Structure 1
């Protein structure tokens, strides 16, 4: 098993005041979590503020998306070098909301994964199936295609030190959650698909992770931590989830 990792995806939430309050509370609770890596992914406008607050701490900083291009006439985009420049270590790639709401297809997600690697960021590659796909029994085929796009473009070695987050799309923001055996089955499939060994990435579960279900999910053999949405905006809840990862 890889070292445990818990990442908070704030999505399009927060204000300057909320960033200060939330990060201050998280930093106060971090000394009790020496055995787990923790990161947060605020919206773009607050990355610089967050970086300043996190200076010298072990709480990592990530972004929610990046452009394929490193620079140029791409209005509204943010590049990997820019993210590195403001202090980011991680970046989400291919989150289900980017795929479903903004049309990011597998090939584009693979290009973004490659861009993250090229610029020294740790990509958190998000994969997962829609409810209809799970009900049709095509979960592995869908996730396999998402993984293969990255493997074909970047090669298996590109996964060394990377992170893959399994997001059952039907469980994101719905209050539903995959059972621990369901999560483990998909994580085991991912582990086998990308190969076990030195290049094995850290595998996170993301899909309505809460303090009351985190321990059961993180206890699974191939679940190395969580990608947390709504609960990451509440300091006590997020710290409780991090403690659940620490205890495994």
Structure 2
């Protein structure tokens, strides 16, 4: 290792950056909870996450014109799916939708971006997938759906197993669900919950869960800093935050 490399490594603390990442996420959730009810806030963030980089704004718009309060009234998965596809502009089929459904609220199909997106991640497929989760949350609400699952795993000392069980629902791939858990579920409930046991459990998962799948940012980090270990989710997120900060 060169002297220059040693100096770079000495000034780079991934744990501190990981803490900074979490604080930024929590601040976002705090802001959302000031302007939206808890179920709506969590629903919007989950919908936003389906957009990847190219369709985030579109998925947020879809969540705003089809709020969770309306989703709950639709109840059945097929009706939820059809309502979202209609509002997104992917279908004109109105059969089965309630009489009081506002058909004037509709996006134009042309706004959706398909550039660089694999067919499995096309927005209409993401909508069909998320409808499975949404239909499972109708009875309890989406916040309580996840809160009860977190409480059920609070004594689980295997972080990978705990995350897998909390995020055990169909329609979305495992990797995407794990990313959703760390980027949305954890910061949301760290802000929303007043239970220290829950907060401590979520902190435990961040610190003990192994790092996630390598993306372009992580590969670049490892190339430039081969001697700095990414040991858990906290340092993984710290490395991503560091790489993003270099772009600005």
Q: TM-score, normalised by structure 2?
A: 0.31
Greater Rg by CA? 2
Which structure: greater helix fraction? Answer: 2
Which structure: greater strand fraction? Answer: 1
Q: TM-score, normalised by structure 1?
A: 0.31
Q: Which has the higher contact order (CA 8 A, sep 6+)?
A: 2
